[in-house]
Amino acid sequence: MQFEFATASRIIFGLGSINNLGSVAVTFGQRALVVTKSSRTTGDGILGILAHGGIDIIELLHRENIEVFIFSINSEPTIDDIQRGVAIARDNHIDLVIGLGGGSALDAGKAISALVTNTGDPIDYLEVVGKGNPLVNPPIPYIAVPTTSGTGSEVTRNAVLQSPAHQVKVSLRHPLMLPKVALVDPELTYPLSQAVTASSGLDAFTQLLEPYVSIKTNPIVDPLCLEGIFRVARSLQRAYVSGQDGVARGDMALASLFGGLALANAGLGAVHGFAAPLGGIFHAPHGALCACLLPHVIRTNVRAMQKRQPDHPSLGRYAEVAKIITGSPKANIDDCVEWITSITRNFEIPALNYYGIQPTDFPTIIEKAASASSMKTNPIQLTSSELEEILANAF
């Protein structure tokens, strides 16, 4: 048995832990670039939301005499966004980057911190569409502060970027990109809308289930996945109904963290293999795509394993997940699929056609998905016809 497990240098978790941001940040630098996502309607984004909720991120840093510069992105980060952020960081002699927000902001901050110290075009370092060059120099220190419970990006070693020219989302990936600190405060997720709570929560669930059945899962990842899945099953609906439920929000924040730890060390699967090109071509929200695809990927994976590898250990793993999420020791894989289908229906997760996807797009989507890194750790290699079946069923 051989495996490795790597994560952020330090993880700080708990209600109110955001108040430690200044004292943590000052140990790394005095000139911080805060990377966040702006609001399309007000322009102030997460900083404004937190300020209105009584949490002033800038003040927390100013108390430690840290000079603050703000860099905002409007949507999921593109290569151009990262180049702009890197230029700002270099021009202002930034010695610390803080990512604040959902996965988009965290990934943008992670990429900027990595490329400030590494020369060349960002595409030189990207997987799939670029050269995939490794980083030469360590990134400047990076602190990740999530305000959603879904991506787990605060403890992953990659940043997902959009390449509009290639119509795909791809990763900048290197072990050195693991954040110095992941500061996870469930209180920051209280303002989330029901729609974001649902889609990000189901993304977290997917990022727990896929590593658990991955070909690279290992004895450290397994218990993280199972504990996280239990917490999602217990608390996602509660967080959706009552956003101020501290226990439910804590469960979801921890599940998201565990999902990030798991995927960073065991990979993902076909759901995320599809989500990358779908998000790149159609600009559909990542969490909603994962939720839509998940039950259909499970069904197809299970049929493929039953047909070609009936002794595959992941068949038993899917059944174990069914028992956890339903609370029934007699539950089977069909019950797992039904539970997921039911909750996506309750949350009104749209089908693929909602985003303008048509059957004529399937060949392009399948071609791009086949080269995605997540497909390489799916429990079984799926055929083109099986991949088309997933899209047709999710349509």
Instruction: Write down which residue in 188, 214, 249 finishes a domain.
Output: 188
What's the mean pLDDT when you consider all of the chain?
A: 93
In a domain, 322, yes or no: yes
The reply to whether 166 and 199 lie within a common domain is no
The reply to whether 164 and 219 lie within a common domain is no
The reply to whether 37 and 153 lie within a common domain is yes
pTM of the complete model: 0.94
Q: Which residue has the higher pLDDT, 40 or 15?
A: 15
In a domain, 4, yes or no: no
Q: Could you give the maximum distance between any two Cα atoms of the chain, in Å? A: 63
The model's pLDDT over 156-197, given as tens digits with 9 standing for 90+, comes to 999 999 888 887 788 899 999 999 999 999 999 999 999 999
**CA-wise closest residue to 377 among 160, 261, 212, 216:** 216
From residue 257, how far is each of 7, 50, 151, 200, 232 by CA, in Å? 11, 21, 8, 12, 12
* pLDDT value of residue 39: 64
From residue 158, how far is each of 119, 127, 150, 222, 349 by CA, in Å? 18, 10, 15, 21, 27
The reply to whether 179 and 206 lie within a common domain is no
Which of 216-230, 275-289, 328-342 is predicted with the least confidence, judged by mean pLDDT? 275-289
* pLDDT value of residue 44: 63
Cross-sheet strand order for the sheet of 10-13? 10-13, 181-184, 142-146, 96-101, 31-37, 67-73
User: Does the structure show a pLDDT above 90 at 284?
Assistant: no
Give the Cα separation of 190 and 178 in Å (integer): 26
The model's pLDDT over 123-152, given as tens digits with 9 standing for 90+, comes to 899 988 888 899 999 999 999 999 999 999
The reply to whether 240 and 378 lie within a common domain is yes
The tokens 């109110």 sit on which residue? 16
The model's pLDDT over 345-364, given as tens digits with 9 standing for 90+, comes to 999 999 999 999 999 999 99
User: Does the structure show a pLDDT above 50 at 42?
Assistant: no
Give the Cα separation of 341 and 326 in Å (integer): 13
In a domain, 46, yes or no: yes
User: Does the structure show a pLDDT above 60 at 275?
Assistant: yes
| Average pLDDT rounded to a whole number, residues 203-224 | 97
The model's pLDDT over 60-99, given as tens digits with 9 standing for 90+, comes to 999 999 999 999 998 889 999 999 999 999 999 999 999 9
The reply to whether 375 and 341 lie within a common domain is yes
The reply to whether 133 and 246 lie within a common domain is no
Cα angle 168-359-357, degrees, rounded to a multiple of 5:
50
SS3 sequence of 89-139: HHHCCCCEEEEEECHHHHHHHHHHHHHCCCCCCHHHHECCCCCCCCCCCCC
158: containing domain = 10-188
In a domain, 1, yes or no: no
In a domain, 244, yes or no: yes
Q: Which two tokens stand for residue 238?
A: 């509660």
The reply to whether 241 and 342 lie within a common domain is yes
User: Does the structure show a pLDDT above 60 at 43?
Assistant: no
Q: Which residues on neighbouring strands pair with residue 70, listed in sequence order?
A: 34
The model's pLDDT over 287-332, given as tens digits with 9 standing for 90+, comes to 889 999 999 999 999 999 999 999 999 999 999 999 999 999 999 9
The tokens 């099953």 sit on which residue? 233
The reply to whether 210 and 324 lie within a common domain is yes
Q: Which residues on neighbouring strands pair with residue 144, listed in sequence order?
A: 99, 182
Which of 37-51, 233-247, 330-344 is predicted with the least confidence, judged by mean pLDDT? 37-51
Give the Cα separation of 210 and 222 in Å (integer): 11
Cα angle 151-152-155, degrees, rounded to a multiple of 5:
145
The reply to whether 332 and 275 lie within a common domain is yes
The reply to whether 147 and 275 lie within a common domain is no
Cβ atoms of residues 378 and 215 within 8 Å? yes
CATH code of 71's domain? 3.40.50.1970
Instruction: Write down which residue in 147, 169, 188 finishes a domain.
Output: 188
CATH code of 198's domain? 1.20.1090.10
Residue 41's pLDDT band, with cuts at 50, 70 and 90, is very low
The reply to whether 277 and 374 lie within a common domain is yes
In a domain, 3, yes or no: no
In a domain, 2, yes or no: no
Q: Write down the number of H helices and E strands in the chain.
A: 14, 8
User: Does the structure show a pLDDT above 80 at 40?
Assistant: no
Q: Look at the chain and report how many structural domains it folds into.
A: 2
In a domain, 371, yes or no: yes
Instruction: Write down which residue in 156, 188, 220 finishes a domain.
Output: 188
* pLDDT value of residue 120: 87
